[in-house]
Structure 1
Amino acid sequence: MQSTFAGANVRLKDIASLQSARDNQLLGYGLIVGLQGTGDSLRNSPFTEQSLRAMLQNLGIATEGGQTRSQNIAAVLVTATLPPFASLGSRIDVTVSSLGDASSLRGGTLVMTSLAGADGEIYAVAQGSVIVSGITAEADAATLQSGVTTTGRLPGGAIIEREIPAKFKSTNELVFQLRNPDFSTAVGIADTINKYALNRYGQGIATARDSSSIHVTKLPNQDLARLMSELEGLIVSTDSPAKVVVNERTGTIVIGHNVKISRVAVSHGTLTVQVTETPTVVQPLPFSDGVTAVEPLSDITAGVDGGQVAILDGPDLRTLVAGLNTIGVKPDGIIAILQGMKSAGALQAELVLQ
C-alpha cells in the first residue's frame, strides 16, 4: 500500500539524483590578457610575471634581460564542474577569479589553460573571452561600483579532453539519493516506484535502504537507461521535518509548513528614551555687573513601544504568522520571540540560526 503524507508533489528527478551520476570539480591556473591597464601590477604580483615569462618561452620568445611593466595581464584561478556522462569534445562553463591586484577582468581573454581533477589528470582545456557582469567607474571625487569586476565567466569556455569512466551500464541496480534525506520521503518514493512497477512489470523493484537512498533492482533483459527515463518522471510526495531558519544578520525568517506551537503568551516591547536639550540665554539686569550666560535645560522622556500581550496557539504556519503580526513586531523582534518560544518549549520545531 502506498504511503500517504502531507507534502509537495514533485517529479522524482527534482528531489533525487543518481548515485553513479556525480559531478567532478576541476581546477586550473591561467593568465588573462588584453586588459586595458586594469591587470596585475607585476611588481606586487611576481607570480604573474613569472607565468608570463614561462608562457612566452614556451612560444619560443626569449625574455631574458628585461622587465615587463605591462598591466594588461592578470593571473587567475580557473574553476569548472565536469558533469556526469560528459563526452569528449563537449563544452562546459568556466569561472575565472583574480589572484593578484587586478582591478577588473573586463575585456580580457583567457589563454589556453589546463583544468585538472583531484587525481591530477587533465580533463578539460579552457580558453576564450571573459564576460564580467560588474562595472566600475572612477573620477577625481567619486567612485561607482556595481557587482564584482575581478570575477568572470566563460560560457562554454572549456572543451572536455578526457572522459570519466562511467559504471552506469555495468550495474544491476539504480540508486537514487535524496537531496534532503527523510525516511518518510524515501519510503513514499519506494512505494510509488513499486506501484508503477507492479502495473508494468508485475513485481516491485524498489527498496528504501535508509533516509537518503532508494535502491531499484534491474530486471533481466531490462535496459537501465530506459528504466531511468521511466522512473525519473514519476510524481512523488515529499515530507520534511519542522524547521524554522533565521538569519540575524539579514533579518530573514523562513518557517516550514509543519511548524506548530503550543499555547503560549508573548509580549514584546522596546523601551525608548528621548533626551531633548533646549539651552536658554539669560541676560543680566540693566546697569548691573552681571554677564550674559547660557542656562542649560534638559527634558528626558521615556516610553515603551509595543508591549501588547498576544496568546499564540498555532496548529499551522498561518496561525503563527498571524499571531506574531498582531503584536506588530519587526523581523528582528520576531527572531527574538522565536528564540524565546524555543527556550520555553513552545516551539515544536527545530530552530536553525545562521
Structure 2
Amino acid sequence: MNLSLKTLAALVLLGALSLGTASAQSRVKDVADVQGNRDNFLYGYGIVSGLAGQGDSDPISTQQVVSNFLKNFGLTITAQNIKAKNSAAVMVTARIGAGLRNGKKFDVVVSSLSDAKSLQGGTLQLTYLIGPDKQVYAQAQGPLSIGGFTLSAGAGAAPGGGAGAEFTKNHPTVGMIPDGAIMEREIPTSYFASGALEISLRAPDFTSAVRLANAVNEQIGPIAEALSSSTVRVFVPKEAQAEDKQLEFIARVENVVFRPDVPARIIMNERTGTIVFTSAIKIDSVAIAHGNLTVQVAQSYDVSQPPPGTGNTAIVNNGNGTITGGGAAAAPAGPGGPVTGAPGAAIATPNVSLNVQEEKKKIIVFNDLATAQDVAAALNALGVTPRDVMAIFQEIKEAGALQADLVVH
C-alpha cells in the first residue's frame, strides 16, 4: 500500500485536525494548571500477612517488622524467633488529588520489598502513610487484589518425579486495595500566594503565555501578566480574596478561552510507520527524485539429454562440488561448473541470471508548500510508502528546506 491510499488520507486528516486545533479557542483548564492544584504522593512501610508460605524467606528486616508489629499488642518476641514465610514486607504507595478532605477513601498500591513469591490472598495490616514532610496523612489496611498468581506443585508432582513445577502469570508480588486508605489529615493547599494566582502551561511556549495573559485581561480585567514561557500570574482583586469567593474566581480564570500556539513539528515512529505533523509546517522550494532499485537473482539448469534407450538418469551438479543422480560415475569440474559423466548420462549445468530493475521516477518540484494539505498532496504525487516519507522528510530537513522540528521515535 502506498501513500496515495489510506496513509495519505490519515496524513491529510491529521493535518486538517491540527489546523483546526491551531485556530480553535481552548479553555485555560484544558491546557494549563492552577498553581497549588496538584497531586500529592503518600507512602508507607507495612506488612502483608496470610501468604500460605509464599512470603519472605525469613530475612531479618521482615522479622523485625513483624516483631515491632506484635509489640503493639503487648507481645515481646525477638526477631530471631519469628518465622516470616507467611508474611511479606511491603511498600504502600498512593497518589491523591489536591484538596482531599478528612475521611475520604482512596486506592493504594502494595508491592513486595523482599523475596516473597506472591502476595496472593494476603491482607495488609494497618499502615500509616506519610508525605514528603514525614507527617502522617492517611492510614491503609485491607485484603489485596492481585492481577496475577503463582501455582506450585510439590516435590515429585512434576512429570518424571522432579523437584516440582511452578507457573506464574503477570506480577503476583504487586497488588492494590481499592478504597483501602482513609484520609486522616488534609494536605494544606494554597492557591493564592501574595494575593496572586499562578497558571502553569502544560506545554511551555512564550506565544501561548502572552496570549493567555491577554485573554484574561480582556475577559476578566487588567490583572494578568506573563512571567515566563510556562507561567502566567493573575493578580486577585480584593473582593475575590475572601474565602467564600476564591473558588468562584478560580473557576472564572479556568474558563477563559484563548488560542494556544501550535509549533511546527513532525513526529515519526519508525517502528509502526506512523507520521503525524502539525499544520504549521512549511517546505521551501525543493526538487525531489525518489526511486527504488530491485535486484533479482535466478538459477536454472541446462540439461543435456542422453541418447534414447540408454536408461540413465540425469546427473546434476549442485553447485557445491557434489553430484546427485546418474547411473554412471561422473566427475565434477568444481562448484557451479559442468559435469562430465559416463557415456549416455544426462548432464545438468546450472545457469545463473541477474536482473536489475531501477524504478523510473520523475523529479518533482515542491514550490513553497505553506500548509499541511499542500505537503500531503505533494507527497502523494511521489507515490511513496510511509517509510519513504520518513526518509524524504529527513533529507529535506538536511537540505534546510523544512521549516519544522523533526522528531523520530
- TM-score grouping bracket, smaller chain normalisation: 0.7 to 0.9
2:45 to 9, 17, 29: 29
Question: Which amino acid is 2:284 matched to?
Answer: S
1:158 is matched with: 181
Q: In the TM superposition, what is the alpha-carbon distance from 1:282 to its structure 2 partner? A: 3.9
1:62 to 77, 85, 90: 77
Distance, in Å, in 1 between the alignment partners of 2:94 and 2:144 is 14
Question: Which amino acid is 1:177 matched to?
Answer: S
1:181 is matched with: 204
CA contact (8 A) 2:293 2:358 kept: yes
Distance, in Å, in 2 between the alignment partners of 1:102 and 1:294 is 65
Q: In the TM superposition, what is the alpha-carbon distance from 1:227 to its structure 2 partner? A: 1.0
2:232 is matched with: 214
Distance, in Å, in 2 between the alignment partners of 1:267 and 1:34 is 70
Q: In the TM superposition, what is the alpha-carbon distance from 1:181 to its structure 2 partner? A: 1.4
Question: Which amino acid is 2:123 matched to?
Answer: T
Identify unmatched segments of 5+ residues in structure 2.
1-20, 160-164, 301-316, 337-349
Q: Residues 293 and 301 (structure 1 numbering): CA distance in 2 closer, same or farther, change over 3 Å?
A: closer
Query: CA offsets per residue over residues 90-109 of structure 1, 9 Å max, x none?
Result: 23332233333445444433
CA contact (8 A) 2:62 2:84 kept: no
Distance, in Å, in 1 between the alignment partners of 2:385 and 2:71 is 63
1:200 is matched with: none
Q: In the TM superposition, what is the alpha-carbon distance from 1:146 to its structure 2 partner? A: 6.9
Question: Which amino acid is 1:180 matched to?
Answer: A
SS at match of 2:48: strand
CA contact (8 A) 2:142 2:177 kept: yes
Distance, in Å, in 1 between the alignment partners of 2:112 and 2:360 is 52
CA contact (8 A) 1:282 1:294 kept: no
Question: Which amino acid is 1:26 matched to?
Answer: L
2:325 is matched with: 283
Q: Residues 211 and 35 (structure 1 numbering): CA distance in 2 closer, same or farther, change over 3 Å?
A: same
Question: Which amino acid is 1:283 matched to?
Answer: G
Aligned positions, number = 340
Q: Residues 134 and 330 (structure 1 numbering): CA distance in 2 closer, same or farther, change over 3 Å?
A: farther
Q: Residues 61 and 184 (structure 1 numbering): CA distance in 2 closer, same or farther, change over 3 Å?
A: same
CA contact (8 A) 2:57 2:115 kept: no
2:370 to 315, 323, 327: 315
1:117 is matched with: 131
CA contact (8 A) 2:63 2:79 kept: no
Question: Which amino acid is 1:176 matched to?
Answer: I
1:342 is matched with: 397
Listed as ranges, the matches of 1:73-112 within 5 Å are: 73-112=87-126
Distance, in Å, in 2 between the alignment partners of 1:145 and 1:230 is 53
SS at match of 2:218: helix
Question: Which amino acid is 2:209 matched to?
Answer: A
2:215 to 168, 192, 195: 192
CA contact (8 A) 2:63 2:84 kept: no
- Identity of aligned pairs, percent? 37
Q: In the TM superposition, what is the alpha-carbon distance from 1:342 to its structure 2 partner? A: 1.9
Q: In the TM superposition, what is the alpha-carbon distance from 1:12 to its structure 2 partner? A: 1.3
Question: Which amino acid is 1:22 matched to?
Answer: R
SS at match of 2:30: helix
Query: CA offsets per residue over residues 31-85 of structure 1, 9 Å max, x none?
Result: 3334466x44416x65444433443444426366646363x54433222224222
Q: Residues 161 and 349 (structure 1 numbering): CA distance in 2 closer, same or farther, change over 3 Å?
A: same
Distance, in Å, in 1 between the alignment partners of 2:214 and 2:399 is 39
Query: CA offsets per residue over residues 281-300 of structure 1, 9 Å max, x none?
Result: 543454xx548999765857
CA contact (8 A) 1:16 1:179 kept: yes
Distance, in Å, in 2 between the alignment partners of 1:291 and 1:120 is 89
CA contact (8 A) 2:25 2:258 kept: yes
1:241 is matched with: 263
Distance, in Å, in 2 between the alignment partners of 1:93 and 1:144 is 29
1:167 is matched with: 190
Q: Residues 149 and 248 (structure 1 numbering): CA distance in 2 closer, same or farther, change over 3 Å?
A: farther
CA contact (8 A) 1:126 1:158 kept: yes
1:204 is matched with: 222
Question: Which amino acid is 2:228 matched to?
Answer: D
Question: Which amino acid is 2:226 matched to?
Answer: A
Q: In the TM superposition, what is the alpha-carbon distance from 1:169 to its structure 2 partner? A: 5.9
Q: Residues 269 and 47 (structure 1 numbering): CA distance in 2 closer, same or farther, change over 3 Å?
A: farther
Please tell me whether Structure 1 or Structure 2 has the larger radius of gyration of its CA atoms: 2
1:254 is matched with: 276
Q: Residues 205 and 107 (structure 1 numbering): CA distance in 2 closer, same or farther, change over 3 Å?
A: same
Question: Which amino acid is 1:235 matched to?
Answer: V
Instruction: Between 16-25 and 140-149, report the one with greater CA deviation.
Output: 140-149
CA contact (8 A) 2:35 2:191 kept: no
Instruction: Between 18-27 and 46-55, report the one with greater CA deviation.
Output: 46-55
1:20 is matched with: 36
Distance, in Å, in 1 between the alignment partners of 2:147 and 2:361 is 48
Q: Residues 320 and 113 (structure 1 numbering): CA distance in 2 closer, same or farther, change over 3 Å?
A: farther
Distance, in Å, in 2 between the alignment partners of 1:98 and 1:227 is 45
Distance, in Å, in 2 between the alignment partners of 1:36 and 1:307 is 71
Q: Residues 65 and 36 (structure 1 numbering): CA distance in 2 closer, same or farther, change over 3 Å?
A: closer
Q: Residues 64 and 182 (structure 1 numbering): CA distance in 2 closer, same or farther, change over 3 Å?
A: closer
Distance, in Å, in 2 between the alignment partners of 1:328 and 1:97 is 52
